[in-house]
Amino acid sequence: MNGPSTRSGGLFRNNPVAVMLVGLCPAAAVTGRVIDALWMSAGLILVLLLTRLSLEILKAFSFPGSGTGHMTDWLSLLFLASCFTASFELVLGAFAPDESAGLGIYAPLIAVNCIVLDRLAGRGSQEPAGPGEIGRSLGQASGLGAGFALSLIVISLIRETLGSGTITLFPIGSFGGTIAVGGISLAPARALVYAGGGLLCLGYLAGAARLVRRVKGAERA
């Protein structure tokens, strides 16, 4: 499996959730409301970029744990990812405590997903560190993060609209944050908000992505 080669690769062609099928747990679990998906994606992108940046800086200074050995490599990745995740959790808990509660135990799992995605982003980067290398690797990471966010947002839009009849966004000023959607909000299909709904949407998203790829491939051929 090749890693993404361009920035746009992570968004569509190599979308982490729909195509490469990693990070499935938050994609199914935290997509009951749009705002949960938004915060989760924001957290993941932040942690991923920060971790990647730190690793690149470490590599630039040739510190141990920056690609010189397998075990130290692994440990530094784990440590960095989990520390940044903990920071994100603290900040979220301080500024948006309701949201923090909404994400629950899935916020710390950003660390785990970040580790997996970072492995994908950092692949094939044995070249010596430098601004170009840092830029490229951050670009890959942001592409993957954006792809993750896109998948989560799509799933959460479907699940929340059909399953609760609302779309929950950030409360700004007088806007409470919840949009009620027309007729559906009278009798939403609540089953979509439950665990099964998440898995179903995820499955159909992956299938749809494959369908799109097939159509595009047929066009090019």
Partner 1 sequence: MSLLGIILTFSLVDNIVLSRLLGICPCVGSPGGMRATAGTSAATALLMSLSALAAWALESFLLRPLGLEFLRTPAFVLAVAGLAGLLDVVARRAVPQLLRAAGIPLAGIAVNCATLGVVLIAAKGGFTALQSLVVGLAAGGGFFIALTLLTAIRERLEVEKVPEWLRGLPLHLISAGLLAYAFMAFDRAFLSRLFQGW
Partner 2 sequence: MAEPHPDVASPPALAVSPAPHLRGLVSSARLNWSVACCLLPAAAWGVFLFGLPALRVLGMAAGVSLLAELITSLAWGRITVRDGSAMVTGLLVGMLMPPGVPLYVPAAASAFGIMVVKQSFGGLGRNWMNPALGGVVFALFSWSDSMSRWLPVRGAGSAVAPLAALRDAFAGGKAGSGGLLAVLGAHGYPWSATDGRVVTWVNDHVLSLLGASLPRGVFDMLVGTVPGGIGEISVPLLLIGAAYLIVRRVIRWQVPVTYLVTFCVAAQLFGGLPMGRGWLAGGVLFQLFSGSLVLGAFFMATDPVTSPLTLRGNLILAASLGVLTFFLRYFGTLGDGVPLAILLGNAVAPLIDRFTQPRVRSAGKGVIG
Binding site for partner 1 (CB under 8 A): 21-22, 24-26, 28-29, 74-75, 78-79, 81-83, 85-86, 89-90, 105-106, 108-109, 111-113, 115-116, 191, 194-200, 202-204, 206-208, 210-211, 214
Q: Does 32 bind partner 2 (CB under 8 A)?
A: no
Q: How far is the CB of 107 from partner 1 (least distance, A)?
A: 8
Distance in angstroms (rounded) separating the CA atoms of residues 38 and 32: 11
Q: Residue 165 interacts with partner 2 (CB under 8 A)?
A: no
Q: How far is the CB of 159 from partner 2 (least distance, A)?
A: 12
Q: What is the C-alpha separation between 44 and 49, in angstroms, rounded?
A: 8
Please identify which residue in 71, 94, 105, 187 interacts with partner 2, judged by CB under 8 A: 187
In the list 26, 188, 202, 209, the residue contacting partner 2 (rule: CB under 8 A) is 188
Burial category of 93 from C-beta neighbours within 10 Å (exposed 0-12, middle 13-18, buried 19 and up): middle
212 scored as a contact of partner 2 (CB under 8 A): no
Q: Tell me the two tokens of residue 37.
A: 């998906």
Q: Between residue 85 and residue 104, which ones bind partner 2 under the rule CB under 8 A?
A: none
Q: Which helix (H) or strand (E) holds 179?
A: strand 178-180
Distance CA(81)–CA(123), nearest Å, equals 17
For residue 180, state whether it binds partner 2 (rule: CB under 8 A). Answer: no
Query: For residues 168 and 35, is the Cβ–Cβ distance under 8 A?
Result: yes
Locate 90 and state its tokens.
């603290």
Binding site for partner 2 (CB under 8 A): 187-192, 194, 200
